[in-house]
Structure 1
Amino acid sequence: MDDNKKGWVFMNQKDLSDALVDQLNKSRRVTILVNGGWGIGKSHVVSDVGNGRLSEKQMNFIHLSLFGMNSLDEINKNLKREYLLSKSNQDETNMVKGMKAVFDNQTTRSVISHLSEKYIGLSIDPLNLLPLKLGDKFIVCFDDLERKSPNLPMDEILGLIEEISLKCKVIVIANEERIKESDLDWPIYKIFKEKVIDRTYTIDGLMDITVKKIIEEQMPGDDKFISDIRNTIFDFFIRHSIINMRTLEKSIAFVMDLRSRCNLDSVLTTLCCAIVNEDSLGQDLYSFSQKTRGKKDDSFYTKYSLRPNYEQLLLELLRFYSTNRLDDNKVKHYLNPNKTECELLLEELQEGHLKNETTLLAHFASVKQNLKVNNLKFFGSSEKLLYVLIHLQLCKNWFDISYDMNELKEWYLNVIVQLAQNGKINNVENIKLIYNQTVPFLNTFLDQYELAIQEQSGEYYLKKYTEYFDNKDYNSCSEIVHKHPGLILSIIDNLDLVAKDICTRELFAHLRLIVDISFRDKTNVHPLVEIRLSNLLHQTNDKVIKHRIKSLQS
């Protein structure tokens, strides 16, 4: 143990809390020093005791931070202000109640000060008239002693604390290691401590139960997802023996910020905590983002048991931590390496209630840009584009997001034609049934969608028909024409083959099917078939060919 620390009482949060409760309950007057490093949880424990564990004892707890205080007058005014606002000040006199009403109105205080200076030549702040009636039921806590203004002499503020300690119970919260850095303040502080302080408690670590409590308070929720994130943060801080409460709170805040942009897993959560911890230690974050080099003990990845292949992910999180800018796709592709950008975007829209307006506006901008440049690869299929547009509209309806779906119309009507694929028509009616009540533009869009699918369907089967025909697979050609008679107009030229010597039995059977379907279904192409056959009949003198043509006409 360091010689400077001999005689100090070392404890964790629970030890300190129990000791404070014990001392404050049994002592009529007591002055306690709570010492420890910054971020260790001193103020948290003291406030928890004053506002929580002692509240049943009807104790009045007044907390005053000395951070930046420049004068005793400023301290006194702030002390009286906290006195007025203390929650359990039940026995106020009428004067105090009146003063409290005056204090609550800054304008009234200024008017009184101005009038008093004008008529009696003396500026009076009503707050200075308030008697500070302390007693056994009051605890005054002076926090951040080491952070007082350099303009305020240490002996003056310690004299005030000593004066208050004669009227009530006092807690002083300080970081003695920081006070030692001042050659002027430290000697005075040591004299004061010996004369006034009854108990010194030094807190030197975060308890597991305290870490867990803070995490649960700041990340409430019973679902497994939240529970897993909480457990990851807890394990990180316990495993690495991190005792700074501010680092813990900052880590939780950073994790929750990232969660508002994307889903999380244990690796992302660990990276968030590691980044905040390195920042708290004053490290150069980007130097730690490099792959393992040299001594492994000096590596960021080894230190936090991470794989070096997380380098790009780490860099992206560092950028988010430093600039609040995040390439969502890089993080999402890490979480879902086998999913396309469109699939990831659709998942985000389907979980719109878990996101924020900024994220949804970014999704809208992404869809708009990909539609504008006809990025067919992004959407992949007409169905995916359809569902993306539907969920954009639903998010707009549900959350009143400020984007205009009409901005997309010019482009999605063009893109849908190019993306339409066969076999999707049956889904259209189901989509109408499910979404039509909440998506006003859906009927127009679905009509265009269905038309595009039908047109694209014809192009697809014409291509297949041509492939089969070139390979003389006439049976497969007949199956396509039977299912899609609308193709006859595109293949009517094939009837000319009936007048050629290459007309085999199989080809003739296929041509007969074409004519039969056009006659039977009374399609728009029926008159054209009749004219085509009549022209062929008049163009030939070959009796065999005439017989073939007449066979097709009969």
Structure 2
Amino acid sequence: MKNTEKLKNYLVDKDDAYLLNKNNNGNVIMISGKWGSGKTHFWQNEIETSLKKEQKNKKKAYSYVSLYGKTNIESIEMDLFMNAYNSVIGDADIVSKMCSTSLSYGKKMGSIFSTVVTAVTAGAVKFDSGKVFKEVENLIDDDKFTKAGEFLNDGGVVCFDDFERKSKEIDLNDLFGFITQLTLNFKCKVVIILNSDVFEGKEKEIFTTVKEKTVSKYLMFNPTCEELFDMIFKEEKYKSLKNDSETRDEEKIEIVLKNTFCKVGIVNARILIQVLDNVLEWYSKHRVCTPFYLEYFILVNINFILNHHIFVATLDKEDISKTFQYKFGEIERHESNYKDATNSRIKSDVEYLSTEIMAYISDSKMIYNQKVIENLKTEALLYEKNNGTKSKEADYGTILLDFINSNESLIKSLHFMNYFNIDIHRESNNQAEVDILNEINNFIETGIL
């Protein structure tokens, strides 16, 4: 079973699914994975829909809170309780939501948390919202936050996303303390979604120590390229890119897209979505989406996102001369012959055809990855060490290293181009082909068709 299927089944699909089982009330679970691997997309598209339905049927709250940009605990509280109320009742005040995003609002409002806990534990006694929200006292019903607490109590689910993107103004100890009190006082389940290995220095030490005391269950989000593609491509907006069943597999847009992404090894939801959206725009306006052009489109777009360089296609005269040698003699016959050939090169003013760099890139048999720079630097340092007694050659090693340091993205693009044969991506070898390839290049570079 795929990683995404296992997680979905474990969290919401099976009869005793973790998030639906009352025995897990008061627990904190952490879902971690690599940056950009699609954790939020998975949660919102595979988990949230069914979870919301289940929670609403039980009149229990579901509250999703992104910590991105949050500068204080109070603003997190505001979002948490308003979303909890809205998940069951609906129609939360827009003004309240607007207030929760204000950078200074949380500092004015005091603590909602203690007031709600008091109200809920005292039998849903109403509190005076005017004392908590002076700026909006006429716009918020007195009992909304009390009801939000009731809906969270004994079975609510809270999801904190973008955990690592919180403001540095929020102390990790305080944040985990707030989460602990939330689970203790309301017996709700809390889900934390974050990138693995994101905190540094003192925060990393605090995170490592405090999470062990707070988190009950750790889950790893680790989809394959195929899984991530399938999860994203099934969105309704990509429906027009799906061919009918009679189309041969090797010509189906979906198959070409998936195979090309997986050939590069992209497991990054943001890159996948960006490229798919560009393909969708190209297809809706241009309709030239044969496997040949589609593969070129994807490769060029991925390289532009990763390495910030675009390509230029040209129609050149290529020498296809042949030399014949008789089997039992030394007499040779040479025939010169030239033909049109489509070629692509990197669009750059930098002279990058260094013999050593190009030789290393051309001879490199490693799977495409970002270690090409590190390996090239090692080669340059070794070259300088081995030729240290010859001043000119030793100087050249230094020059080579300086060039590598100054042109990392260019070298990565060269490696990408060479490994995936973009430079000789050709089919018809005519001007019409070159024009379409350059139209693709221009669209990727400018964003405009």
The answer as to whether partners of 2:176 and 2:214 remain within 8 angstroms in 1 is no
Alignment of 1:74-85 (within 5 A): 74-85=75-86
The structure with the larger Rg is 1
From 159, 163, 175, the counterpart of 2:195: 175
Corresponding residue for 1:322?
A: 445
Preserved contact between residue 243 and residue 253 of structure 2 (Cα < 8 Å): no
Match of 2:161 in 1: 143
2:11 is the counterpart of 1:20: yes
Any unmatched runs of 5+ in structure 1?
1-10, 327-554
2:228/2:267 contact within 8 Å kept: no
What are the superposed Cα offsets for residues 58-106 of structure 1, whole Å, 9 maximum, x if unpaired? 46432111001011121111112212321xx1xx6xxxx8xx56x2456
Contact 1:301 / 1:308 at 8 angstroms: preserved in 2?
no
- Asked whether the 8 Å contact 1:65–1:144 carries over to 2, the reply is yes
CA contact (8 A) 1:51 1:61 kept: no
Q: Tell me the alpha carbon deviations over residues 189-238 of structure 1, each in whole angstroms, 9 at most, x when there is no partner.
A: 12221111011112223363442242132421464479821121111123
Confirm or deny that 1:35 pairs with 2:32: yes
Cα separation, 2, equivalents of 1:121 and 1:143:
26
- Aligned equivalent of 2:345: 290
Report the counterpart of residue 185 of structure 1 in structure 2: 203
1:255 to 270, 279, 282: 279
Tell whether 2:265 aligns with 1:238: no
Deviations 1:256-277 (A, max 9, x none): 1111331221122222322332
Aligned to 1:433: none
> Once the two structures are aligned, what percentage of the paired residues are identical?
21
- Answer yes or no: is the 8 Å Cα contact 2:82–2:97 preserved in 1: no
Q: Does the C-alpha gap of structure 1 residues 69 and 107 become closer, same or farther in structure 2, counting only changes over 3 Å? A: closer
1:49 and 2:47 are equivalent in the alignment: yes
Q: TM-score, normalised by structure 2?
A: 0.57
CA–CA separation in structure 2 for the residues paired with 1:163 and 1:255:
47
Give me the whole-angstrom Cα distance separating, in 1, the residues matched to 2:204 and 2:263.
Answer: 36
Deviation of 1:120 after TM superposition, in Å, equals 12
Q: Which runs of 5+ in 2 are unaligned?
A: 101-107, 109-127, 314-343, 347-352, 365-413, 427-433
1:83–1:146 CA distance, 2 compared to 1 (3 A): same
More helix by share: 1
Distance 2:228 2:291 in 1: 21
Amino acid at match of 2:447: N
CA–CA separation in structure 2 for the residues paired with 1:252 and 1:37: 21
1:388-443 superposed Cα distances (whole Å, 9 cap, x missing partner): xxxxxxxxxxxxxxxxxxxxxxxxxxxxxxxxxxxxxxxxxxxxxxxxxxxxxxxx
Q: Secondary structure at the match of 1:158?
A: helix
Q: Does 1:69 align with 2:70?
A: yes
Other structure's SS at 2:281 match: helix
Match of residue 183 from structure 2: 165
**Separation in structure 1 between the aligned mates of residue 307 and residue 50 of structure 2, nearest angstrom:** 34
Deviations 1:349-377 (A, max 9, x none): xxxxxxxxxxxxxxxxxxxxxxxxxxxxx
The 3 A distance-change label for structure 1 pair 270 and 52 is farther
1:332-481 alignment to 2 at 5 Å?
none
CA–CA distance in structure 1, aligned partners of residues 142 and 193 of structure 2: 26
Alpha-carbon distance in structure 2 between the residues aligned to 1:107 and 1:70: 16
TM-score by length of 1: 0.47
Q: Matches of 1:249 and 1:256 in 2, distance apart?
A: 10
Which residue in 1 is equivalent to 2:419?
303
Matched residue SS, 1:191: helix
Quick one: distance in 2 between partners of 1:149 and 1:40?
Answer: 22
Task: Give me the whole-angstrom Cα distance separating, in 2, the residues matched to 1:120 and 1:28.
Answer: 32
Q: Within 2, Cα distance between the matches of 1:108 and 1:150?
A: 22
Equivalent-residue separation in structure 1 for 2:129 and 2:153 (angstroms): 34
Name segments (4+ residues, structure 1) moved above 6 Å: 106-110, 116-121
RMSD over aligned Cα atoms: 4.0
Contact 2:71 2:166 in 1 (8 A): yes
Structure 1: how far apart are the matches of 2:98 and 2:217? 43
Is the Cα–Cα contact under 8 Å of residues 144 and 173 in structure 1 kept in the other structure?
A: yes
**Structure 2 CA distance for aligned equivalents of residues 144 and 154 of structure 1:** 14
- Determine which structure has the larger strand proportion and give its number: 2
Partner SS state of residue 43, structure 2: helix
C-alpha displacement of 1:12:
2.6
> Structure 1 pair 107/265, CA: closer, same or farther in 2 (3 Å)?
closer
Aligned 1:191-210 pairs, distance under 5 A: 191-206=209-224, 208-210=226-228
- Number of matched pairs: 301
Partner of 2:239: 220
1:141 positional shift: 0.4
CA distance in 2: counterparts of 1:278 and 1:306, whole angstroms: 10
| Superposed displacement of residue 45, structure 1 | 2.4
Does the CA contact (< 8 Å) of 2:312 and 2:438 recur in 1?
no
